[in-house]
Amino acid sequence: MNYSLEEIYCLVGKEDKTAGLTFKNKSEAFENYGSFITVVFIYTQNEREEMDKLIKVTPFSKEGRVKAKYLGTDLSSEKIKLLLNEGINSGDIAEILYFNAPTKNTFHSIDKRELRKIEIPMKTLPKGRDLDWMYGFSKKLANEGVGQSPKERAFYLAGMLYYEHDNLSKEERQEIYDTSGAIDILVEWEFLQMKYLREEISDDEKKRLAELYTQKKSESVEILDKYLKQAGSSLKKLATENIEQAADLFMKVMHFKERRLNVMGKYPIYIDMESYLHIYMRHVEEFQVNKHFEHKDNFQWDEKDVFSVLEHVIDSIDKEYQEYREQNPEQRFSKYGQQSVYFEGDYYTFHIEKNGRISTFHKNKKENGKAL
């Protein structure tokens, strides 16, 4: 008797359970993967929603292929890709072994999700001495060809200017200074902050740092106001209607720092303030000031966990992204529709611009807009 697709889904697929598969002797799967492998079955959002309908009808009868992610170490990369792209014929499976653990899949839940995190406390060193290892690490990544976001690049160049001024290359000098000799404003901001933390800053440099801070504050207010207007409000209007929320959003914007989301790789993937406000104003409950975006699906995560979710999703596609960017330097990288990325019960759509900036990131709406 063969396993049906519905039975596979009910036993292990619906809850993303780890499955040990024994294949029938001389079957296609046996020839490709051996007698036994350990996998997690993979479904697109449409496939998952279709399976939820099929399992309501008995007896189960549907046979065919189901894709899987290999969890072992013995298969070649070609075989692993074959499992992901073509899958296993349900009729080739002789036995499915699995641990009857409590439900962990949250696809069918409308509740907030929780991430398991390990928080490591850190102490800062006095007089900016942490800058020593921070610059050393930045230089190591640069020497190893790891891509840097604009802010990271500015920090690295500022570090070169502070620690190794005499060793600046011609190319680095051209990045730091324009043809008139004026320093790049992003590098200057990082450089003056270094001198301030190291308590080596002059009075004139303090004045210049204050000017840059005022400029940064003004630009941040403009960007926040722009996205509030897109939400059918404005900073002035919100301050009148809800001064506490206006102040909270202002402080979030002022303390926001551009972040790279992939750990390694030649090509960085990062989120800047424009990305941050575009994503959070539409899809994070705590950021919404009215019902303008109520047709959008909110993340089922607390605000503090959204960055971690972004990092997990980006990590899952980074290898593919690096290969794509190498071959398509001028094109946007996108995941949507059947290619949406699955993480902790939700499917995510996103677009990464050619410079590595995430421009869009949101959770796909589920069928009927509610949990199934």
- Per-residue pLDDT of 41-97, as tens digits, reads 999 999 999 999 999 988 888 999 999 999 988 899 999 999 999 999 999 999 999
Would you state the pLDDT for residue 227? 87
Structure pTM? 0.78
Residue 139 has pLDDT above 60, yes or no: yes
- Per-residue pLDDT of 181-235, as tens digits, reads 899 999 999 999 999 999 999 999 999 999 999 999 999 999 999 989 988 888 8
| Rg from Cα positions in the chain | 25
CA atoms within 13 A on the CB side of 165: 4
- Per-residue pLDDT of 262-291, as tens digits, reads 988 999 999 999 999 988 888 887 777 766
Q: In angstroms, rounded to a whole number, what is the distance separating the alpha carbons of residues 256 and 278?
A: 14
Would you state the pLDDT for residue 290? 64
Q: Which of 192, 186, 191, 187 is nearest to 207 (CA)?
A: 192
b vs e for 151-190, b when ≥16 Cβ sit within 10 Å of the residue's Cβ?
Answer: bbbbbbbbbbbbeeeeebeeebeebbeeeeeebbebbbbb
At 370, the pLDDT band (50, 70, 90 cuts) reads very low
At 371, the pLDDT band (50, 70, 90 cuts) reads very low
At 105, the pLDDT band (50, 70, 90 cuts) reads low
Q: Are the CB atoms for 16 and 105 separated by under 8 Å?
A: yes
Would you state the pLDDT for residue 27? 93
Residue 131 has pLDDT above 60, yes or no: yes
Q: In angstroms, rounded to a whole number, what is the distance separating the alpha carbons of residues 261 and 268?
A: 8
Q: In angstroms, rounded to a whole number, what is the distance separating the alpha carbons of residues 283 and 300?
A: 9
Dihedral-angle region of residue 27 (phi above 0 means left; psi in -120 to 50 means alpha; beta otherwise) = beta
Would you state the pLDDT for residue 293? 58
Would you state the pLDDT for residue 263? 87
Cβ burial, residue 292 (10 Å; 0-12/13-18/19+): middle
Q: Which of 143, 136, 184, 128 is nearest to 164 (CA)?
A: 136
At 113, the pLDDT band (50, 70, 90 cuts) reads low
- Per-residue pLDDT of 147-190, as tens digits, reads 999 999 999 999 999 999 999 999 999 999 988 989 999 999 99
Would you state the pLDDT for residue 343? 87
- CA 159, 163, 169: angle at the middle one, nearest 5? 75
Q: Which residue has the higher pLDDT, 101 or 239?
A: 239
- Per-residue pLDDT of 239-263, as tens digits, reads 898 898 888 888 889 889 999 999 8
